[in-house]
Amino acid sequence: MSWNILGLSRYGPSTYLKKLFVATFGTFALLYTVTESFILPYTPTADQSFLRSLLDLALPFMMAYILLFYIIFECICNAFAELSYFADRQFYEDWWNSTSWDEFSRKWNRPVHAFLLRHVYAATILSYRLSKTSAMFVTFLLSACAHELVMVVVTQKLRMYLFTLQIIQIPLIMLGRLPAIKRNKLLGNVVFWLGLYAGFPLLCVAYVAY
């Protein structure tokens, strides 16, 4: 039986896993360099200007986010899929082309989106007769709570920064559905990237300093 029928790489599992290992190691080395050279020397403190810290760390944190995304979704997820003969490799879509935040939430993490769509969003509509808007709010609320719980475990402190930013996505989604933005894909993508570039570094600086 060919590798393609099994849903595996045409190189065979051993060769493909070696490629993933090299990619993981190389990307992690780059992530380590960014962290050591551009993040740790500028680690914010409580008595330091928040705006200054944000300006110093915005680009490095954004680079770290993209590198970490690649390690997790392109390298680690594909490695486990290869080992387990899991054929569905669509762990993410082209989220960088998103023109709205609801499109981003659908594309950046496909397995979690599929789970929430089926077991939370659709389930609340069918079981509790909620409207689509209410079901979306419940889904975002549950997702925000789960993500904040992860941050509590990682940082050992409850700050609700990530929870707040995720809930703020709801009005941003409504904003992205305005005809002026919805018709202009380029404008929507620019607005999305501005929000991502501001939001993720803001989140990181807030958790580190406060």
Could you give the percent of the chain with pLDDT greater than 90? 54
Q: Taking residues 147-164, what's their average pLDDT?
A: 92
The pLDDT assigned to 12 comes to 56
The pLDDT assigned to 172 comes to 84
What is the reported pTM? 0.85
Task: Note down the domain range covering 147.
Answer: 97-210
Instruction: Show contacts of 139-145: CB within 8 Å, 24+ apart.
Output: 140/166, 140/167, 140/169, 140/170, 141/167, 142/116, 143/112, 143/116
The pLDDT assigned to 157 comes to 87
d(CA 189, CA 186): 5
113 is catalytic: no
For residues 71 and 107, state if they share a domain: no
Q: How does pLDDT run across 122-136, given as a tens digit for each residue? A: 999 999 999 998 998
For residues 46 and 149, state if they share a domain: no
Inform me whether the pLDDT recorded for 2 exceeds 70.
no
Identified catalytic residue from 147, 170, 202, 209: 147
Q: Give start and end residues of each alpha helix (H) in the chain.
A: 3-6, 13-34, 50-69, 77-84, 101-107, 110-116, 122-128, 132-155, 161-176, 179-183, 185-209
Q: How does pLDDT run across 59-106, given as a tens digit for each residue? A: 999 999 999 999 999 999 999 999 988 888 899 999 999 998 889 999
For residues 142 and 76, state if they share a domain: no
Give yes or no for a contact between 205 and 50, defined as CB atoms under 8 angstroms apart: yes
The pLDDT assigned to 171 comes to 87
**What length does the chain have?**
210
Inform me whether the pLDDT recorded for 11 exceeds 60.
no
More confident residue, 7 or 139: 139
For residues 40 and 58, state if they share a domain: yes
Q: Taking residues 152-169, what's their average pLDDT?
A: 90
For residues 80 and 113, state if they share a domain: no
For residues 82 and 126, state if they share a domain: no
Q: Which residues of 24-50 are buried (b: 16+ CB within 10 A; e: fewer)?
A: beebeeebeebbeebbeeeebeeeeee
Domain boundary among 91, 121, 136: 91
For residues 120 and 208, state if they share a domain: yes
Instruction: Quote the mean pLDDT of the chain.
Output: 88
More confident residue, 52 or 115: 115
Domain boundary among 35, 60, 91: 91
Domain boundary among 41, 61, 91: 91
d(CA 57, CA 41): 10
The pLDDT assigned to 52 comes to 86
Q: Taking residues 52-56, what's their average pLDDT?
A: 87
The pLDDT assigned to 182 comes to 82
For residues 87 and 121, state if they share a domain: no
Count of domains observed in the chain: 2
Among 43-47, 57-61, 182-186, whose mean pLDDT is lowest? 43-47
Of 129, 125, 162, nearest to 147 by C-alpha is: 162
The DSSP 8-state label assigned to residue 121 in this structure reads I
For residues 25 and 103, state if they share a domain: no
For residues 69 and 172, state if they share a domain: no
